[in-house]
Structure 1
Amino acid sequence: MKVIYTYTDEAPALATHSFLPIIEAYAGKADVEVETRDISLAGRILAAFDLVPDALGELGELAKTPEANIIKLPNISASIPQLKAAVKELQAAGHAVPDYPDDPQTDEERAARAAYDSVKGSAVNPVLREGNSDRRAPASVKNFARSHPHSMGAWSSESASHVATMSDGDFRHSERSVTVAEAGELRIEHVAADGTVTVLKPAVKVQAGEVVDAAVMRAGALQAFLAEQVADAKAKGVLFSVHLKATMMKVSDPILFGHAVTAYFADVFAQYGDDLASVGADPDDGLASVLTALEKLPAEKRAAIEKAITATYDSGPGLAMVDSDRGITNLHVPSDVIIDASMPAAIRSSGQMWNAAGEQQDAKFVIPDSSYAALYAEAVAFCREHGAFDPTTMGTVPNVGLMAQKAEEYGSHDKTFEIGTPGTVRVVDAAGTALLEHEVAAGDVWRACQTKDAPIRNWVQLAVSRARATGWPAVFWLDETRAHDAQVIQKVRAYLADEDTDGLTIEILPVAEATRYTLERAKRGENTISVTGNVLRDYLTDLFPIMELGTSAKMLSIVPLMNGGGLFETGAGGSAPKHVQQLVRENHLRWDSLGEFLALAVSLEFLADKTGNPRAGVLGKTLDDATGALLENGKSPSRRAGELDNRGSHFYLALYWAKALAEQTDDAELAKVFAPLAERLAAAEETIVGELNGVQGSPVELGGYYVVDKAKADEVMRPSATFNTALAEF
């Protein structure tokens, strides 16, 4: 068994250039093999066109075996604008990849589009996640947050911020669900009013006991809802902000985002829609894409549309901003405002977002689909009533998440369709029987998703084991009035009956009640295990860690793979783009690799248990000790240039790790090996930190954003000759 360390994107990838040499040097002394696999967006694009080996596919197969020991860093879940930007960089670097075809007409273009569709959105996680998720704040991290609390914005009981969501016509209210009795294949088809049948997906393989859902977002209801929210935001004097998951939900949510752009700029599209369409302006790609397409219009027409856009800004509600200084709004790019990052940030900062003047202001949080909107609505209402949470006293909320084998909504991409003509969409079995069906209109977004039986059983077992290990209540966030959840609840109750739950508190509550129950306990300093589906797993493991710890990057994320291997995730990467921008501008990377430290320690202990290599276990235990020392001594990255950053944090981790290895008594020979390194790094501390901090303050060149020049990245991320020499000579 080896440690497979993934090379991904943005700040986590840059941090790898600094941290990986340390890992390799230390692991080599304990007979632990470390290999890397490139699953970055650029790497996945190249693999999709057979220009490099398919590293993700290889890891996907490995994840199904007992030998898997994969450390997975955050990667880009690419929106179409991100995908197109990566393609441009690859082409500029000399790679023979085709343009992304927006409207494929030839077989070659259709093949290229299919290749790109396999890469965009959440393409990595469903492949690797052959197990369910166990995410929690390690005790050392939680204790540190309590003794060194992060800032929390003060809430006002007069806050006008609120969540707006649909009450009908959305996925939640139209959902239908069935449990399939026998293994086989299903077909998804569209039947027009005249009886014409169009097969949307010819073969959906299903297993016995699998839950299959179908739901539709009705375009007319969505448009009416968005128009109402724009008007209401104006009337209430709050910012208009849309919160979606346009990366993970890579087909449906960009379409919903486009509707929001069109709703806010309704007059512009009513008057100039044909002109905009003529130059390929697609609101699904965001306002920035529309503004770029304007350049293709004649100057006079372009000026008229720009004037109309400015008039909308003046007459409409204020727009929440992503970057007030640069004029980048909430509607500019669909991947800029991802709900599980944007909503916790707003809740942490007084329930407000930034306006065009760079000031915080109350906001209307528009979450069209009501499936999980209650989580945020309840959190906003709770903070308005009780004030901000106190990190020094609040409880912790670990999560057991159902995600194995593409479970639930995140497995719906290849079964999501924007409807072209009215009719009926139905899911049909091999005998021709319609299991699920919906009447649809043009523009509706229809989707189906699957949840296999074995992952549900494993999820229940994992929840019970965590409840038993901690003694904390475990709450299944399931709503019997929702079609999908009703099917899952039947299975949960059956599988709970097979487990020893004596003395345990196990609850099944719908989202709003589960949120209130958990928030009330957290406020009292009590801990609660959230047991959720795939999407809520994402939402909760950002919301609670951001309130508890100040960031979701400090969570320990273990995926016990169903066939015996291990996948160790290192936290969320939502803030990674801003970190890269600061590095390029100031040569300061504030990315915190704590998640990498935590995941590596558990991975080493896992390897020790699996292979009988006690030295790997010593490495893991001492890495935990070093991580604790790093936190206690305040050696995490600073936000300001000229101070300790990611590279300095890595040096101190190496120093404390070497010291812990030199001082441990489980392996005297290993202690003797590391003692000289510990002494050398300690003696050179001032010099090394001076070299690491001294390079900061000036711009750096990485050769690209998606296609980084690795030699340049090495040079930028390893600027201390003294430290580099010490590692090399070790």
Structure 2
Amino acid sequence: MTNIASPDIIYTKVDEAPQLASVSLLPVIQSFASAAGVSVGVKDISLAGRIIAAFPDNLSADQRQADDLAELGELVKNPNANVIKLPNISASAPQLIAAIKELQDKGYAIPDYPENPKTVAEKAIRNRFDAIKGSAVNPVLREGNSDRRAAVAVKNYAMSNPHSMGEWVPDSKTVVSTMSSDDFFSNEKSVTLTAEQAGAARIELVAQDGSITVLKESVSYSAGTVVDATFMSGRALDLFLADQIEQTKAAGVLFSIHLKATMMKVSDPIIFGHAVRVFLQPVFDAFGEKLAASGVNPNSGLGALLDQVADMPEAEEILAAIAAVMADRPALYMVNSDKGITNLHVPSDVIIDASLPALIRAGGKGWGPDGAAADTNCVIPDSSYAPIYDESVEYFKETGAFDPATAGTVQNVGLMAQKAEEYGSHPTTFEIPHDGTVRIVLANGDMSLTHEVVAGDIWRSASTKQAPIEDWVQLAISRQKSEGCQSIFWLDESRAHDAELLKYVTPILAAAAVSDKFQILTPRAATRLSLETIRQGKNSIAVTGNVLRDYLTDLFPILELGTSAKMLSIVKLMNGGGLFETGAGGSAPKHVQQLMQENHLRWDSLGEFCALGESLKFLADTKANDKARVLGRAVDRATQDILDRNKSPRAKVGQTDNRSSHYYFALYWSQALATQNEDQTLIAKFAPIAAALAENESQILEELASNEGSPADLGGYFLTDVQKTEKVMRPSQTLLRILGEL
């Protein structure tokens, strides 16, 4: 086989609105990049693509496709890696099942998802699917730590055009509620492994009669790895939820639960299922056996439950019982009031890092069943990170909302390389089948990580390797030196895991003689100080672990910028390459719905623009391509022009949409290249392109908007038809002709 060189830049094919947008944007990127001798390739990490790659057995030759995620997993370990990563679906079970059905309907012989596998074959199929569920992509690609911040152009625009903020009042009834004992935080144990302890370990459940069930046969740990183990009591969780339901009803506010069922794909769907069951406890008490016999799994949510009940012989009786319980319970926070979709309908519908910042930005208000905004009890069962939201709510009650026009910014340096911390815990998370003792038996026989558990408890272990920790601290030192602003390690010495991290952090800071440049604060204290800092118009760097990286890079941008989709996100890969991420995708499904109904896509590609500029400048450094640097700098100018001239997509038909925004990006990018003086060859190439794009503005915009207001046929949702999608997303032949001239 001929060995074909990898493209200079890899652009990822993903899902939903970001993928549709890339169909429009990629011709612009590839055409412009070619003028600098830069090749841009595509790798498919979409949910549908990953399912197809995982099940080649019964597929025809033309249906099969390579495992692009595995290929990218190797590429990101290469010093020349340069990947632009768009937000992909981190699939919950309902999303995975929906994608499977769509593929089956298209003629792909993909097996059904075994909800309750019994045979060896079913368990093998389930294992393949479980490798696709949740955050399957990010841990593979993130071979480096995170440097995430608002791009200068985006921050400038946000301050000049501040978004609306809800009004906070001191007597707001909105609260954050969390467990005070028997949760993951309180039960956590943590050790840093010695050379003797490193190697192959196993996780066992020892029953009361001494019999041993091996939960995980072989887990490989290297010396210096921080290993954590903890559990959440199922009984304590149920008591907590029942109490919160009663307190919510007494307070007269909305009930909401906030989890991360996509990233924490084993533990959080189970917790979500507990919430569904406890909320409908009288129904399960009366009909539990019949519901179980019909395959009802509360972990899949209220929506799936209602669908399954509708097909049962006892449907009328059970639905009446559900209606009676719902009428007696507190009103639920709604995902979509118009469609009756509640907080408990789908586990992936209410993702904590998107839902809570939006609620805080709105003055503590959530949407109720009546379509009106109301105060809310925000229930976060595990108390590990609940304090950041609790402190934010209390802070704004005391001070009122701040002004985005004058606010500073919180940057983030996040520890996430090589599956660091809880987000890498999926293979070592278990719902306990029977009472006993869970223990990790290390390579030398040590068993310092043990817990007494009972059936129904949720036990998990996570690990963080030494090299990523050290790289994270060095990245923090570098960023602090560059910015010169307040810098805080968000670490709680009373938490077992954080205490182990501090054994690395403090000596490294001391050795670099920068201990005085950093503060070390608990997440609660760091939240208040950071909010007060940015209220004063100053900046702060939050140096955090993986989950807090995820949470804070939504919380602060949504407060400062109105959105987290426009962040500059650079992953400095540990072997020297670069991974450039483009922002969050939480609103993508609603965008796709609008496109399919009205042929108007309001997805904003600003995150892609920011990532592209950094990718090109990084390429210039790694491959000594000065033309790529010129292109990258011109991207920055074009991005600023998009903002300054108000050419970002807007919400309604007839306004600028994603495709017309891409036209203006191409126009401004070409104009920047045609007028810069660094490279006469590029000036000569882009002057006629800029002129042609400007001269044909009316024609191009008319072609782009030719079908707006009418339904758009994409030929699918998870796996769209290529030709139909290109017809929808590339409707201007004039624009394509001009790009072709490059």
TM-score (norm 2): 0.97
**CA distance, structure 1, for counterparts of residue 42 and residue 145 of structure 2:** 23
- After the TM superposition, which residues 645-660 of structure 1 pair with which residues of structure 2 at under 5 Å, given as runs? 645-660=657-672
**Are 1:682 and 2:697 an aligned pair?**
no
- Residue in 2 aligned with 1:46? 52
**CA distance, structure 1, for counterparts of residue 106 and residue 738 of structure 2:** 34
Following superposition, the deviation at residue 420 of structure 1 comes to: 0.8
Following superposition, the deviation at residue 572 of structure 1 comes to: 0.7
Pairing partner for 2:278 from 263, 279, 288: 263
- After the TM superposition, which residues 114-513 of structure 1 pair with which residues of structure 2 at under 5 Å, given as runs? 114-182=127-195, 183-298=198-313, 301-501=314-514, 505-513=517-525
- Residue in 1 aligned with 2:3? none
TM-score (norm 1): 0.99
Pairing partner for 2:8 from 2, 11, 30: 2
Give the secondary-structure state (helix, strand or coil) at the position aligned to 2:148: strand
**CA distance, structure 2, for counterparts of residue 117 and residue 140 of structure 1:** 40
Following superposition, the deviation at residue 445 of structure 1 comes to: 0.3
Alignment-mate amino acid for residue 330 of structure 1: N
Following superposition, the deviation at residue 520 of structure 1 comes to: 0.9
Residues 352-410 of structure 1: CA deviation (Å, up to 9, x unaligned): 11001111000000000000000100111111111112110111000000000000000
**CA distance, structure 1, for counterparts of residue 450 and residue 309 of structure 2:** 40
Q: Answer whether contact 1:569 1:599 (CA < 8 A) is retained.
A: yes
Following superposition, the deviation at residue 279 of structure 1 comes to: 0.6
Comparing 543-552 with 244-253, greater Cα deviation is found at: 543-552
Give the secondary-structure state (helix, strand or coil) at the position aligned to 1:398: strand
Give the secondary-structure state (helix, strand or coil) at the position aligned to 2:144: coil
- Residue in 2 aligned with 1:616? 628
Following superposition, the deviation at residue 236 of structure 1 comes to: 0.1
Give the secondary-structure state (helix, strand or coil) at the position aligned to 1:353: strand
- After the TM superposition, which residues 49-64 of structure 1 pair with which residues of structure 2 at under 5 Å, given as runs? 49-50=55-56, 51-64=64-77
Following superposition, the deviation at residue 415 of structure 1 comes to: 0.1
Q: Answer whether contact 1:131 1:561 (CA < 8 A) is retained.
A: yes
**CA distance, structure 2, for counterparts of residue 237 and residue 445 of structure 1:** 31
Alignment-mate amino acid for residue 533 of structure 1: G
- Residue in 1 aligned with 2:574? 562
Residues 575-630 of structure 1: CA deviation (Å, up to 9, x unaligned): 11111111111111111000000001100000011111100111100011000011
Q: Are residues 485 and 325 of structure 1, via their aligned partners in 2, closer, same or farther at CA, if it must alter by over 3 Å? A: same
Alignment-mate amino acid for residue 33 of structure 1: S
Give the secondary-structure state (helix, strand or coil) at the position aligned to 2:488: strand
Give the secondary-structure state (helix, strand or coil) at the position aligned to 1:172: coil
Alignment-mate amino acid for residue 44 of structure 1: R
Following superposition, the deviation at residue 526 of structure 1 comes to: 1.1
Following superposition, the deviation at residue 500 of structure 1 comes to: 4.0
Residues 561-584 of structure 1: CA deviation (Å, up to 9, x unaligned): 000000000011111111111111
**Are 1:596 and 2:608 an aligned pair?**
yes
**CA distance, structure 1, for counterparts of residue 143 and residue 443 of structure 2:** 28
Alignment-mate amino acid for residue 34 of structure 2: G
Give the secondary-structure state (helix, strand or coil) at the position aligned to 2:110: coil
Q: Answer whether contact 1:279 1:296 (CA < 8 A) is retained.
A: no
**CA distance, structure 1, for counterparts of residue 136 and residue 444 of structure 2:** 32
Alignment-mate amino acid for residue 292 of structure 2: A
- Residue in 1 aligned with 2:541? 529
Q: Answer whether contact 1:126 1:404 (CA < 8 A) is retained.
A: yes
Q: Answer whether contact 1:214 1:447 (CA < 8 A) is retained.
A: yes
**CA distance, structure 2, for counterparts of residue 478 and residue 693 of structure 1:** 51
Alignment-mate amino acid for residue 490 of structure 2: W
**Are 1:571 and 2:583 an aligned pair?**
yes
Comparing 677-686 with 235-244, greater Cα deviation is found at: 677-686
**CA distance, structure 1, for counterparts of residue 355 and residue 639 of structure 2:** 28
Alignment-mate amino acid for residue 692 of structure 1: L
Q: Answer whether contact 1:644 1:693 (CA < 8 A) is retained.
A: no
**CA distance, structure 1, for counterparts of residue 467 and residue 19 of structure 2:** 34
- Residue in 2 aligned with 1:606? 618
Give the secondary-structure state (helix, strand or coil) at the position aligned to 2:705: helix
Q: Identify unmatched segments of 5+ residues in structure 1.
A: none
**CA distance, structure 2, for counterparts of residue 266 and residue 660 of structure 1:** 63
**CA distance, structure 1, for counterparts of residue 484 and residue 597 of structure 2:** 48
**Are 1:27 and 2:33 an aligned pair?**
yes
Q: Answer whether contact 1:545 1:551 (CA < 8 A) is retained.
A: yes
Following superposition, the deviation at residue 435 of structure 1 comes to: 2.2
**CA distance, structure 1, for counterparts of residue 307 and residue 740 of structure 2:** 48
Q: Answer whether contact 1:461 1:499 (CA < 8 A) is retained.
A: no
**CA distance, structure 1, for counterparts of residue 722 and residue 347 of structure 2:** 29
**Are 1:727 and 2:732 an aligned pair?**
no
Q: Structure 1 vs Structure 2: percent identity of aligned residues?
A: 58
**Are 1:632 and 2:647 an aligned pair?**
no
Alignment-mate amino acid for residue 423 of structure 2: Y
- Residue in 2 aligned with 1:12? 18
Pairing partner for 2:42 from 2, 27, 36: 36
**Are 1:693 and 2:705 an aligned pair?**
yes
**CA distance, structure 2, for counterparts of residue 344 and residue 545 of structure 1:** 9
Across the aligned residues of Structure 1 and Structure 2, the Cα RMSD in angstroms comes to 1.0
Give the secondary-structure state (helix, strand or coil) at the position aligned to 1:535: helix
**CA distance, structure 1, for counterparts of residue 264 and residue 686 of structure 2:** 47
Q: How many residues align?
A: 727
**CA distance, structure 2, for counterparts of residue 430 and residue 556 of structure 1:** 42
**Are 1:548 and 2:563 an aligned pair?**
no
Residues 522-560 of structure 1: CA deviation (Å, up to 9, x unaligned): 111111100000000000000100111111111000000
Alignment-mate amino acid for residue 231 of structure 1: E
Give the secondary-structure state (helix, strand or coil) at the position aligned to 2:570: strand
Alignment-mate amino acid for residue 509 of structure 1: L
**CA distance, structure 1, for counterparts of residue 627 and residue 277 of structure 2:** 59
The runs of at least 4 consecutive aligned structure 1 residues that moved more than 6 Å come to none
Following superposition, the deviation at residue 149 of structure 1 comes to: 0.8
Residues 161-192 of structure 1: CA deviation (Å, up to 9, x unaligned): 01000000100000000110023111100000
**CA distance, structure 2, for counterparts of residue 303 and residue 389 of structure 1:** 51
Give the secondary-structure state (helix, strand or coil) at the position aligned to 2:103: helix
